[in-house]
Amino acid sequence: MPPDLTDFLQKDLAQNWEGRCATKCKYAIFAINLDDDPVEEYAVILSDPERLQRIFGYDRGADGAWRRIGMFQEMPARPMSPQDSLIEVLRHSQAEAVAAPYRDLKVGDRVFHLVR
C-alpha cells in the first residue's frame, strides 16, 4: 500500500469516525480497479465496535493527492447481522468491480442513481 495513502487514511478515518476507530475498529484494505483507467484504486472495509460495516473507496485526484471517492452501498440493500463480517468474507473470497446493471441518469446538471 502506498505510504501516502496510509497517512491519508489515518486522517480521513479519524475525521469521519470521530475517534471511534482509534483502537477498536477492524479494517481491511485492498487494491482494486474501480474505473476505466489501468491504475488501481483502493477500498477500505471498516467494522466498528458495534459491528457497523462500511466500505469506502479511495483514488488519487488530478493533483496526485489521495481522496475519498465515496462510500459503497449495497444495492439492493440486504440486512446484515453482526455475524456477516465482510472482512471475514473477504478472507475466503475475492472482491471484484462489477458494472452497475443500469447507468445513472443525468437531467440537466443533476445526476440520479437508480435505487432498487
Q: Which residues bind Ca ion (CB under 5 A)?
A: 33, 35, 37, 39
Residue placing its CB nearer to Ca ion in the complex, 39 or 62: 39
Residue placing its CB nearer to Ca ion in the complex, 96 or 109: 96
Closest separation between CB of residue 56 and Ca ion, Å?
A: 16
Q: Percent helix, strand, coil in the chain (nearest 5)?
A: 20, 30, 50
Residue placing its CB nearer to Ca ion in the complex, 33 or 73: 33
Residue placing its CB nearer to Ca ion in the complex, 15 or 33: 33
Closest separation between CB of residue 33 and Ca ion, Å?
A: 4
| Helical residues (DSSP H) of 1-116, grouped into ranges | 3-16, 86-92
Closest separation between CB of residue 58 and Ca ion, Å?
A: 11
Q: Three-state DSSP class for 77?
A: coil
| Residue 107: Cβ-neighbour burial (10 angstroms; 0-12, 13-18, 19+) | exposed
Taking alpha carbons only, the member of 46, 34, 40 closest to residue 86 is 46
Closest separation between CB of residue 36 and Ca ion, Å?
A: 7
